C-alpha cells in the first residue's frame, strides 16, 4: 500500500473521532447523581409514578454499593468520576418521542447521522431503524409490513407510555435488576432512550432491526435501555452501533440490554461499539432463554479508554442454546476487558463462546468469561475458544476463563491461544508480493473472519465502515 493511501486512511480514521457538532440541547441536567436530578429526568419525560419509584430505588442501591475493585486484573476505573458526568441531555427536537420522517430532524443532528450512514442503511431495506442522539431517540421508523403483523419497534420512552404492562413486567425485574452491579443500579436510576422491540408469537422479522447511538457532548453519560421480547416461535435480529467524538474529558456509556427469548424463539443481537478513547464503556447485557430457544451475541469492541462488557445468557429452558462471537481491539492507552457469561440451568442446553482479541502499541485485551452448569443440567455441553493476537512486546493479552461445573453428565471443552504475529508469517506473505502492512492486514482479516461473516454488513452500511476504518487505522 502506498504512503498516500496510508495517510488518507489515518486521516479518515482521525476524522471519525474529531467530528462533532456544537451542543444544541433543549434540556440539560446538572452533573452527578442526586434525587433532584432523577426527579428532573423523570419529570421531563412525563413518566408514570411507578417508573420514578424504580429510578429512586435504583439510585439508593447505587449509593449503597461499592465501586468494583477486587476483580483480578480488572481495568483501572480510578479516573472515572461519576459525579462529574452529565447524565441527561435532551436534544432540541420538536417531538419528545422523536420523529418518523428523516427530513423533520434539526440540521445538526441530521448531518451527524448522514455522515455515519443511517439513511443509507435504511435504504438497504432494514426492517426498522432507530437513532439516538445524546440521551434521546430522535428518529424511529418501522416498515409497515412488520407493524401490520404486530411487531413493535419504538423508543423506550414511548414504550413506557404506550405499552406500560409489557414494560412494567420486564423492565429491570428478573433479567437485569439494579441490584446486579453498581453500574446496573446507576443505569436504572438515570436510563434514557434506547429501543423497545416486541415480536409476537410465530412471527419472523426477516430483515434486521437496527439502532444507532451517538454521544456528541463533552463530559456526558449515555444510558440507553434496550428491551427485546421475542414470543414463542418468533425470530428477530437486532443490530446496534455506537460512537462518540474525541474530547479531553471523560464520557461514560453505561447501557442496559434485556432480552427475553420465548420457547422455540431465536434472537440475534449484533453490536459494534466504537467509542473514542476518552469513553468509559461499562454495560450490562443479559438474555433469558426458554425451552428450545436460541440466543446469539455478536459483539465488536473497537474503541473506548476502558471497556468492561460481558454479555450473559441464562439458559432457563430445556434444549435452549447460546452462542457468543466476540472481537476486541486495543491500541495505545486502551484496556478492553470483554467476554461472556452463560448459565446452564436446564438439561440438554448448549453454549459456544468464540473470542478474538487484537492488541497493539501497548494496548491491553482480556477475555473474562464464566460458564456455570448447574446440578441437574445433565447432557448439557459448552465449548470455549479464546484466541489473542499481539503486534508488539509492549501489548498484553490475558484470558481468565472460569468454569463452574456442578453436573457430571456434561461435555465441556476449552481452548486458548495467545501469540504475536510471527516474522515467518510476514516473510512468507512478503515473498508472495505483499508489503509489510498488507501482510499484517491479511493476517488480521483472517483472524477476525468469524465476526465479519456473522455481521450482515450489506444491511448495515455504517457498521461495515466502522470495522474497516478501525482495522485500517490500527495498522496505519
Whether residue 343 has pLDDT greater than 60: yes
395 and 362 Cβ atoms separated by less than 8 Å: yes
DSSP letter string, 105-172: S-HHHHHHHHHHTHHHHHHTT-SEEEEEETTEEEEEEE-HHHHTTT-EEEEHHHHHHH-HHHHHHHTT
pLDDT confidence bin for 220, thresholds 50/70/90: low
Whether residue 353 has pLDDT greater than 90: yes
pLDDT confidence bin for 215, thresholds 50/70/90: low
Q: Where are the domains of the chain?
A: 3-309+421-474
Question: What's the confidence (pLDDT) of residue 147?
Answer: 75
**Residues 6+ positions from 273 with CB-CB distance below 8 Å:** 241, 242, 253, 281, 299, 300, 301, 302, 303, 304, 307, 309
**Averaged pLDDT, 386-405:** 89
273 and 282 Cβ atoms separated by less than 8 Å: no
pLDDT tens for 113-142 read 455 444 454 444 344 444 444 444 434 455
Residue 101 DSSP class: S
Question: What's the confidence (pLDDT) of residue 339?
Answer: 94
Average pLDDT along the chain: 79
- Cα distances from 92 to residues 133, 137, 195, 241, in angstroms, run 10, 11, 20, 22
Higher pLDDT, 18 or 50: 50
Question: For residues 337 and 396, what is the distance between their CA atoms, to the nearest angstrom?
Answer: 12
The pLDDT > 90 percentage for the chain reads: 42
Q: Where do the DSSP E strands lie in 374-429? A: 380-390, 396-405, 410-420
Among 64-78, 93-107, 185-199, 237-251, whose mean pLDDT is lowest? 93-107
Q: What residue has cell string 509492549? A: 394
Say what the pTM is: 0.82
pLDDT confidence bin for 213, thresholds 50/70/90: low
- Paired with 355 in beta bridges are 326, 386
Residue 99 DSSP class: B
- For β-strands 209-214 and 195-199, DSSP reports them as unpaired
Higher pLDDT, 277 or 161: 161
Q: What are phi and psi of 245, to 5 degrees?
A: -75, 170
Question: For residues 95 and 92, what is the distance between their CA atoms, to the nearest angstrom?
Answer: 9
Amino acid at each position: 500500500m502506498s504512503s498516500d493511501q496510508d495517510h488518507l486512511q489515518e486521516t479518515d480514521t482521525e476524522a471519525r473521532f474529531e467530528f462533532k457538532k456544537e451542543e444544541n440541547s433543549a434540556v440539560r441536567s446538572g452533573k452527578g447523581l442526586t434525587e433532584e436530578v432523577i426527579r428532573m429526568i423523570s419529570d421531563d419525560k412525563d413518566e408514570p409514578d411507578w417508573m420514578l419509584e424504580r429510578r429512586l430505588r435504583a439510585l439508593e442501591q447505587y449509593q449503597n454499593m461499592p465501586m468494583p475493585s477486587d476483580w483480578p486484573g480488572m481495568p483501572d476505573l480510578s479516573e472515572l468520576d461519576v459525579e462529574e458526568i452529565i447524565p441527561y441531555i435532551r436534544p432540541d427536537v420538536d417531538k419528545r418521542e422523536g420523529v418518523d420522517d428523516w427530513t423533520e430532524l434539526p440540521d445538526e443532528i441530521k448531518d451527524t447521522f448522514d455522515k455515519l450512514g443511517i439513511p443509507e442503511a435504511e435504504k438497504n431495506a432494514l426492517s426498522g431503524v432507530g437513532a439516538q442522539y445524546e440521551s434521546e431517540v430522535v428518529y424511529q421508523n418501522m416498515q409497515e409490513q412488520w407493524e401490520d403483523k404486530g411487531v413493535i419497534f419504538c423508543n423506550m420512552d414511548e414504550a413506557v407510555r404506550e405499552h406500560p404492562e409489557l414494560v412494567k413486567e420486564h423492565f429491570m425485574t428478573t433479567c437485569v435488576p439494579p441490584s446486579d452491579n453498581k453500574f446496573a443500579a446507576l443505569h436504572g436510576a438515570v436510563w434514557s432512550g434506547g429501543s423497545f422491540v416486541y415480536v409476537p408469537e410465530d412471527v419472523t422479522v426477516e430483515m434486521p432491526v437496527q439502532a444507532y447511538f451517538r454521544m456528541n457532548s463533552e463530559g456526558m453519560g449515555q444510558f440507553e435501555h434496550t428491551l427485546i421480547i421475542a414470543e414463542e416461535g418468533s425470530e428477530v435480529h437486532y443490530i446496534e452501533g455506537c460512537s462518540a467524538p474525541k474530547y479531553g474529558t471523560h464520557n461514560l456509556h453505561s447501557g442496559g440490554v434485556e432480552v427475553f427469548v420465548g420457547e422455540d424463539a431465536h434472537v440475534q443481537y449484533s453490536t459494534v461499539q466504537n467509542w473514542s478513547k476518552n469513553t468509559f464503556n461499562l454495560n450490562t447485557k443479559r438474555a433469558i432463554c426458554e425451552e428450545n430457544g436460541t440466543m446469539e451475541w455478536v459483539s465488536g469492541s473497537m474503541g473506548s479508554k476502558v471497556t468492561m462488557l460481558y454479555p450473559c445468557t441464562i439458559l432457563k429452558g430445556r434444549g435452549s442454546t447460546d452462542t457468543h462471537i466476540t472481537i476486541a481491539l486495543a491500541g495505545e492507552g486502551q484496556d478492553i476487558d470483554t467476554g461472556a457469561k452463560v448459565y446452564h440451568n436446564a438439561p440438554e442446553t448448549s453454549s459456544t463462546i468464540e473470542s478474538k482479541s487484537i492488541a497493539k502499541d501497548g494496548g491491553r485485551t482480556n477475555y473474562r468469561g464464566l460458564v456455570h452448569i448447574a446440578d441437574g443440567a445433565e447432557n448439557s455441553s459448552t465449548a470455549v475458544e479464546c484466541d489473542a493476537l499481539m503486534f508488539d512486546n509492549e501489548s498484553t493479552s490475558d484470558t481468565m476463563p472460569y468454569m463452574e461445573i456442578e453436573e457430571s453428565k456434561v461435555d465441556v471443552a476449552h481452548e486458548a491461544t495467545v501469540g504475536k504475529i510471527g516474522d515467518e508469517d510476514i516473510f512468507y506473505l512478503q515473498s508472495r508480493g505483499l508489503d509489510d502492512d498488507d501482510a499484517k492486514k491479511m493476517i488480521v482479516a483472517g483472524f477476525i473472519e468469524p465476526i465479519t461473516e456473522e455481521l450482515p454488513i450489506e444491511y448495515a452500511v455504517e457498521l461495515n465502515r466502522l470495522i474497516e476504518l478501525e482495522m485500517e487505522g490500527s495498522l496505519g
